[in-house]
Structure 1
């Protein structure tokens, strides 16, 4: 009964938030997608963290720890560098640009005939292709969780269930093999019912209330998800024999050498593993489609009430995402290695990563008592909903603002659409995004494999997205060239090198080299963006970096933009080192064998604390505009 009350309260609060925000959201796209640009920074940052706390992420972490050990999580932790670069270098620029989507930025930043085409292409590529792949990954995780806890074939009467099953069989809908041994027709029907209900619940408030409702529910959803995760970590470690003896129990199961590798926060010393690892963490944070915050991170920054709020939001997000949540997920993943051991033969099997991902769901069912299990399930539903609502809202912003308003109405029909008309299109666009995501779901297997592929496709755009803020010479042709090179190179690399995780570093390195070279050559060999466009962008955004000529045209010191980059870069570097040092220090104190954790752990924590003033100062007072 308590579980049902918690679930009911969560559902009512979320739907109530959507209804409460409906009136304001209906006034126009700024209200619908940016909450009137009045969000406090802490709400925006918590919403970012809630969105990243998807149902698929803890499953991904569980699989990574089992397949490659704790050090493989640096693949996720290195994103702290991108998050903090977003905070100190790009977030205020996004807000000052005055755009509603990152695709719209193309018309503010570039000139030339292809600007509209680029805006349209980015709206479709990011808002539909990439966005729906991410949504599908989240829905695959939801299916795996729902199969265990939502047996619709037992709950629904035969008069209702059997016609649904017949419809599913006739349509050919399939989402992979059952994880609990159900017949395919039953498993696929249960999955479809679960997906439809989850999407209907999420759409009920996100479509109605827009970003304002999304953020309000995200804050509550994040709190629920964190409480549930903390309880899961407690019970998992308790069932595994407690935290203190965890290294010894892993050594007894897998051998001392294997256990040491599992628990190590540093990669093995052998060059065969070390070089690929260094390539991945050295490139991955930059060569990805959100390198400058493009996407829902930029949307949250643009929605903040001030430049200072826009800076604070990604910093809060980084600490919640990388530090706090990682320690809880790590405790769960290591506890599950003890409770559900595997053999070397299991590790060599093709479906090992997907099987280990599922132990996260199995642990919830078998380890948690009724009250805690209900809270964890509500937490996972909250995490799932917070990701779905963001990606639906964000994806719809492209279709309504860029495709419909920017191209169809203003360019083709030569008319300006009304604000309420655009909101209606935005709400319908949510349904379009959901339909595309469902179509992708049936083609996904392991979450880890899908994540690797999405990283590869996004890698081609990272460098040019960052450089467009820092270097005035980046132009329309550079971004188009990078996108074209990415779309051509990614399938070619997948065909030649496959999807083997061991070759991922090579795929990523080749993708980064090819696309960055193409983009820089295109920028240097094609006409520059015209002076009027660059001058207007510079005056509005006040970018950092290599803007010497534009600054001179605007009557300012040409050295000022590059000089101004110094303090933000110091804050980014200090903030990243502080966060990662404290994470590694706390992690080794908690999870490493007793001989490893002593002095080094304390030095890491102390060094992280000593760096705090260098990145905290810019967040306490808004710096003067140049």
Structure 2
């Protein structure tokens, strides 16, 4: 497909704008490592929240949703909708704890919480594992989607796609640091939302689709419309709803939805002005991410079932992309029907989605490699200017690796499932380490190793030795059980963290609760007051109540929106009333939660 001059002009203008932003903030972002990686720790909640939404709206996200809808229907999206529970737990339980830490990256947490060589090893290993290996896989997955969109909509080769989009992104990311990422994310968010709405509208206008009525009445689409899985089909109910809501959300590490917070979400919390801005940012992110964005993508995915009913129809329509065709190409395939001008806008929106995600991962990954590897282990005496320069070089290096790996990948959904399996069983540690003193560095080291080995086993060994193929959720359950047993054994068979480290942790974070009772007693025996070691009241019970209410509000909006779109007025009205009542209760309880933990002076700011 050939783009018009107008389309190319819109795309070019957006890329130039991104470069200008990087140049504009380059001087300020280059002052020191805190400016480069945490935007001076003075950002407002609304900018941070919108930035997180823009980051999670990557180029592969609509492709992933389309893949899910085409194969498992709308209900298949519960595999990622379930992570809202993780997000709300972070909002009301962990956001203020992260902000109190005063650290620059979440892996720096390891030497705050644990002691000895094992803590140092864990910090360095985790920095390389997440910042380099895991991070490059995520960026390559996002770049794979860009390759498919470039092949279908712009008629360019995979290598050309990576070179064009990657070069622009890496330039403004390396120049502007996190501040540049946040500013461009703000504009990218609105452009991406507009592009998604336009894509959905044009998909509905396709003559084979015939608008909303034609879409929802089509014999191939109708079975895919259920928002909740078919409760009479046990296999679908278990795999699409029960496992994600009962096990997956707390047991699995996944970027942007880490149990207990972490990754680039934690990075945004570190960049907030204070605890309240940190909490507000994460709540805004979760509300917009789960309640606002999915339906335009779902509509395009459903329409693609009519226009491109199977993979062969996509291959026939786009022979130049035949070697990367999968169900996730249904989304870019539908975009080929966009008119002149709108095509350029939507492609610019997808480029914005790509750049927002890649720029965040470049800055986030670079922060690990610079702060937690280079500065911590290789050259502790580095000047701030040197750290910024190393950060910029590392940013370029990560982009080169991600682009190379993307050229060898094929499916976004397949990559998503692999990532979930690699992190299976580690999530519970990220929740408990804040509230149980006995968790130590070896707990996390063993969990990482075992979960990775289990993932490799299912990927390369299980069927080769004669065992039958398991469903992805069955592999997940086995991975969680094996990993959890392993790290629990490691916890009790190894020495606990030193008393001094644990007491210092309590003084800084004040996590409270029965899991820290022993350490609180030790601290008081050493002359510390109880007020120095924990808040006046333990905030977790109230936080969990707010978490539940927050989930009811967001899930209610998500499902009610679907029923309004379907024209099911009764359920839509009922859920809207539930949302309004839950929102009122949430506001009331949130105010009480804030009163439990008054603002304090924070170390490291």
Normalising by structure 1, report the TM-score: 0.86
Equivalent in the alignment of 1:229: 196
Kindly provide the CA deviation profile for residues 489-537 of structure 1, in whole angstroms up to 9, marking residues without a partner as x: 2111223556999611011111111112222222233222122111211
Q: Contact 2:137 / 2:405 at 8 angstroms: preserved in 1?
A: yes
Could you tell me how far apart the structure 2 residues matched to 1:192 and 1:460 are? 37
C-alpha displacement of 1:123: 0.6
Query: Please, which of 350, 364, 378 is the counterpart of residue 408 of structure 1?
Result: 378
> Match for 1:37 among 35, 41, 52?
41
Tell me, yes or no, if structure 1 residue 204 matches structure 2 residue 161.
no
Deviations 1:324-359 (A, max 9, x none): 10121112112222222249999xxxx999532112
1:64 and 1:502 mapped to 2: Cα distance?
A: 19
Does the CA-based 8 Å contact 2:69-2:224 persist in structure 1? no
Deviates more, 1:131-140 or 1:465-474: 465-474
Query: What residue is the counterpart of 1:288 in the other structure?
Result: 252
Partner residue, 1:482 = 447
Residues 436 and 564 (structure 1), Cα distance of their counterparts in 2 relative to 1, 3 Å cut: same
2:471 aligned with 1:508, yes or no?
no
In the TM superposition, what whole-angstrom CA distance separates every residue of 1:89-140 from its partner, at most 9, and x where no partner exists? 1112112111111211111010122111111110111011110110010111
Q: Tell me which residue corresponds to 1:493.
A: 458
Question: What secondary structure, in the 3-state scheme, does the structure 2 residue paired with 1:527 have?
Answer: coil
Equivalent-residue separation in structure 2 for 1:281 and 1:440 (angstroms): 32
Report whether the alignment pairs 1:549 with 2:521.
no
Counterpart for residue 368 of structure 2: 398
Q: Given that residues 436 and 516 in structure 2 are in contact (C-alpha distance below 8 angstroms), is that contact kept between their aligned partners in structure 1?
A: yes
Contact 1:128–1:436 (Cα < 8 Å) also in 2: no
Q: Aligned equivalents of 1:498 and 1:358: distance in 2?
A: 28
Q: Is the CA contact (8 Å cut-off) linking 1:79 and 1:285 kept in structure 2?
A: yes
The DSSP-based 3-state class of the residue aligned with 1:293 is coil
Q: Is 1:65 aligned to residue 82 of structure 2?
A: no
Q: CA deviation at 1:301?
A: 0.7
The yes-or-no answer on 1:260 pairing with 2:264 is no
Is 2:12 the partner of 1:19?
A: no
2:440–2:496 contact (8 Å) kept in structure 1: yes
Is the 1:547–1:562 contact (alpha carbons within 8 Å) kept by the matching residues of 2? Answer: no
Alignment CA distance shift 1:23-1:571 (3 Å): same
The answer for the alignment partner of 1:279 in structure 2 is 243
Larger CA deviation: 3-12 vs 18-27: 3-12
Change (3 A) 1:343 1:195: closer
Following superposition, the deviation at residue 69 of structure 1 comes to 0.7
Q: Residue 470 of structure 1 aligns to a residue in which SS?
A: coil
Q: Paired residue for 2:595?
A: 623
Match of 2:186 in 1: 219
Q: Would the alpha carbon gap of residues 462 and 352 (structure 1) be closer, same or farther in structure 2, given more than 3 Å must change? A: farther
Number of equivalenced pairs: 569
Structure 2 CA distance for aligned equivalents of residues 302 and 498 of structure 1: 44
Shift of 1:291: 1.7
SS of residue matched to 1:469: coil
Q: By how many angstroms is 1:542 displaced?
A: 2.2
Q: 2:572 aligns with which of 595, 601, 604?
A: 601
Q: Which residue number corresponds to residue 128 of structure 1?
A: 132
Superposition CA RMSD, Å: 2.5
Q: Is the 1:589–1:598 Cα contact (8 Å) retained in structure 2?
A: yes
Q: Which moved more, 1:20-29 or 1:548-557?
A: 548-557
Match of 2:317 in 1: none
Contact 2:264 2:364 in 1 (8 A): yes
What pairs up with 1:341-420 in 2 under 5 angstroms?
341-342=309-310, 354-365=325-336, 367-410=337-380, 416-420=381-385
Distance 2:323 2:8 in 1: 34
Q: Which runs of 5+ in 2 are unaligned?
A: 315-321, 599-605
* Local SS of the residue matching 1:623: helix
Q: Which residue of 2 aligns with 1:578?
A: 553
Shift of 1:572: 0.6
User: Is the CA contact (8 Å cut-off) linking 2:82 and 2:249 kept in structure 1?
Assistant: yes
Cα deviation for residue 314 of structure 1 reads: 1.3
Matched, 1:309 2:277: yes
Shift of 1:19: 1.2
Which of the residues 413, 424, 428 maps onto 1:463?
428
CA contact (8 A) 2:48 2:268 kept: yes
User: Which position in structure 1 is the counterpart of 2:602?
Assistant: none
Residue deviations 1:244-284, cap 9 Å, x none?
34221x22xx3xxx723443433342223322331233222
User: Using a 3 Å threshold, how does the CA distance of structure 1 residues 542 and 498 change in structure 2: closer, same or farther?
Assistant: farther
1:334 aligns with 302
Equivalent residue in structure 1 for 2:386, among 418, 421, 437: 421
Aligned to 1:324: 292
Listed one character per residue, the Cα deviations across residues 397-428 of structure 1 (whole Å, up to 9, x for unaligned) are 11111110001123xxxxx1110011111111
Q: Matches of 1:417 and 1:352 in 2, distance apart?
A: 47
Query: Which residue does 1:104 correspond to in 2?
Result: 108
Q: Give the 4+ runs in structure 1 shifted more than 4 A.
A: 343-346, 351-354, 496-502, 557-562, 617-622
Cα deviation for residue 559 of structure 1 reads 9.0
Q: Is the 8 A contact 1:268 1:274 kept in 2?
A: yes
Partner Cα distance (2:446, 2:541) in 1: 30
